[in-house]
Structure 1
Amino acid sequence: MASDQPPGLDLEALRGHLDRERPGLVRGPLEGRLIEGGRSNLTYRVSDGTGRWVVRRPPLGHVLATAHDMKREHRVISALHETAVPVPEALLLCEDESVIGSPFYVMEFVDGTPYRTAGELEAIGAERTRAACLGLVDTLVELHAVDPEAVGLADFGRPEGFLDRQLRRWGKQLDASRNRELAGIDELHAALGRELPHSPAATVVHGDYRLDNVLIDDREQITAILDWEMSTLGDPLTDLGLLAMYSARLELPNSPISTTSSAPGHPDARELIERYAARSGRDVSAVSWYTAFAWFKLAVILEGIHYRYTLGQTVGAGFDRIGELVPQFIEHGLTTLQEG
């Protein structure tokens, strides 16, 4: 979506701010476009014809500041930049809303491809797909190996009681979207609460770690992890459970939910879990709980989208089919928990 003035980003105001705060960074008039694919915060590619940068800002309209905290995103990628974790270099944080209408930050542009569908992976072949997915696990191990205190993130979250708070938070999200009976959803929530595992030592947690939130180059190397808006200090196995959930073989014909697991060469969840365990040294015996929790969270997210659709607050292709997917995710969560 190229534009002289992309929605939500005043390029002239941005240029003026960059000239004041980072003189010499920009050498000519800025052009920008909104990068499609983000679920929440808005991401723009900006260029002066020579240099390229990325700008992140909260969504348009009124939002809770805590849900779209630019300072947190900027802080975590700044802290991780000198580690083995691939992140873009953070160049500038602006908390002054008078510049473009909201807080924002600027980071370097990193080359690479986000693979969002099985079809996109199929185009690169089974061998490259397998290498990319295994690299996804290895990079997660690198993230979870970072000492939060050593990189200045000791106060980045509240690890004590992390899983209990997460479960209560998502239960409240579910209650806020209730407008129909959903068989099994309360049973799943209650069962997760009864079987709460003991968390390992806290690490930096990405919160939404999956294939389409990383950039991959032509050698199947991850060049950057993106979308840190849900990051915190907490239980690292929540990231693994989410990755395992997205790696499950799903039969969702004509689904508006993008999955990559059916692509030839894509490792199954068990192989990814075993690789993570071997490389991290962590006990993953409770991974079924974490995977079931991921199913529960996604069911709640989808039900929220369905609820907004019924109120006429969400428009676009595929939203009319979201509601029928929710029971399938609940069932997967219950089955995963029972099998664990």
Structure 2
Amino acid sequence: MTDEPSLLDGGTDLSPESRQDLMRVLGWMAREGLALGDLRAAAPVGGGTQNVMIRFTSDDRSYVMRRGPRHLRETTNAALTREIEILEALARTEVPHPHLVASCTDVSILGDSVFYLMEPIEGVNAFIEISDLHRDDPVVRRQIGFELVEALVSLGEVDPEAVGLGHLGRPDGFLERQVDQWLREVDRYESVEGYVRDIPDLEEVASWLRAHQPLTNEPGLMHGDFHLGNVMIAPDGPGIAAIVDWEMCTVGDPLLDLGWLLATWQQPDGTDLSGSKLAAAGELATTDELIEHYARLSTRDLTNLDWYRVLACFKLGILLEGTYARSLDGRAPRALGDWMHARTVRLFHQAIQLIHRAVRPAPSPSAAGELS
């Protein structure tokens, strides 16, 4: 192995902080006995995550290192440690996921963050890029939506106990806890200097969720943040190469994952929450078609799906608002914070539309006859 300066040859696209991280990771790999040779390439990996990822090649093997964001949240290291455990368990399932190579929960190595190494995923993040095939073939673009649903169904069918994840969450009372838990999160944002709560219809949505909560639900393994930006698509087709970013995975209610996908998917009026490259290409499967596909493949009861869709808008909107709050005191870029707040507003608008649709009275028989 060459001396340390040469280890970073090829890493010129990295920030100084990432170069330092990579140096420390390489030293850790050497001490752990992982095969290590000269570094041949190193570059940052982008995507829908705020975590830091670096792809590098050493001794003819490629790796991706994943660590927390530069401004760690209090929960970051616990979440990454949880993600490591989940990836180890998913290796015993058919769910598409990143393949874990090694992990380190000793924060002294990087000085702040837990990290792990995984195999690179041969896929594209359609949030920020699409392949020529995806761009040129509308049939493939439509199929991507159905493939996402199929991946969700396969995840929801995993037996958490069988793969060693039965302890991961508290399924009893999962739905009951959601509203109050996320309202407390908004209360915490108000401790940030300069933050003023400005989430339209927050209380109306919270009240509706409390009043219409399903009486029963079927617990299962859920991703917790399932949207296009957290999925890698095969560049040569519509298949799912891997679901990524498992930090929010828990044993809860998998129908919330479906609601999350629908909340972030291109809407019937053509609007797209994320502004993804895939949606910009157009001609995607509609939200109704995704629901129909899920219903064909899953035995889960979709009677209360609109409730899960509203909860997804509520929870995701508050989650994104956290980035806006952190941006006010410099813990996140201000432009990113403003972008996130705008998405929070749009999510709550979507929630109100769903609520109004859910409470709209059905036409009387006579009125229906007049309209026919």
Instruction: Give TM-score scaled by structure 1 length.
Output: 0.88
The residue type paired with residue 40 of structure 1 is Q
Alpha-carbon distance, 1:41 to partner: 2.3
1:18 is matched with 29
Distance 2:118 2:129 in 1: 29
2:117 is matched with 106
**Percent identity of equivalent pairs:** 32
Q: How many residues align?
A: 338
The structure whose Rg is larger is 2
2:370 is matched with none
Name the SS of the counterpart of 1:7 in structure 2.
helix
Provide closer, same or farther for how the CA distance between residues 117 and 32 of structure 1 changes in structure 2, counting only shifts above 3 A.
closer
The residue type paired with residue 161 of structure 2 is E
How does 1:241-260 map onto structure 2 within 5 Å?
241-249=259-267, 257-259=274-276, 260=278
Distance 2:284 2:46 in 1: 25
Deviates more, 1:316-325 or 1:96-105: 316-325
Deviates more, 1:257-266 or 1:233-242: 257-266
Distance 1:149 1:209 in 2: 22
Name the SS of the counterpart of 1:238 in structure 2.
helix
Alpha-carbon distance, 1:233 to partner: 0.7
1:274 is matched with 292
Provide closer, same or farther for how the CA distance between residues 9 and 92 of structure 1 changes in structure 2, counting only shifts above 3 A.
farther
Unpaired stretches in structure 1, ≥5 consecutive residues: none
* 1:173 correspondence with 2:185: yes
Name the SS of the counterpart of 1:156 in structure 2.
coil
Unpaired stretches in structure 2, ≥5 consecutive residues: 1-11, 191-195, 359-372
2:60 to 45, 50, 59: 50
Distance 1:30 1:13 in 2: 17
How does 1:1-340 map onto structure 2 within 5 Å?
2-3=13-14, 7=18, 10-24=21-35, 26-29=36-39, 31-48=41-58, 50-65=60-75, 68-101=78-111, 102-116=113-127, 123-177=135-189, 179-217=196-234, 218-249=236-267, 257-259=274-276, 260-261=278-279, 263-310=281-328, 314-315=332-333, 317=335, 319-320=337-338, 322-340=340-358
CA displacement 1:112-167 (0-9 Å, x = unmatched)? 11101698797243111111111111111111111111111111111111112222
2:47–2:125 contact (8 Å) kept in structure 1: no
Deviates more, 1:314-323 or 1:160-169: 314-323
The residue type paired with residue 211 of structure 1 is L
Name the SS of the counterpart of 1:172 in structure 2.
helix
Provide closer, same or farther for how the CA distance between residues 123 and 9 of structure 1 changes in structure 2, counting only shifts above 3 A.
farther
Distance 1:251 1:312 in 2: 35
Provide closer, same or farther for how the CA distance between residues 309 and 30 of structure 1 changes in structure 2, counting only shifts above 3 A.
same
The residue type paired with residue 200 of structure 1 is N
Name the SS of the counterpart of 1:149 in structure 2.
coil
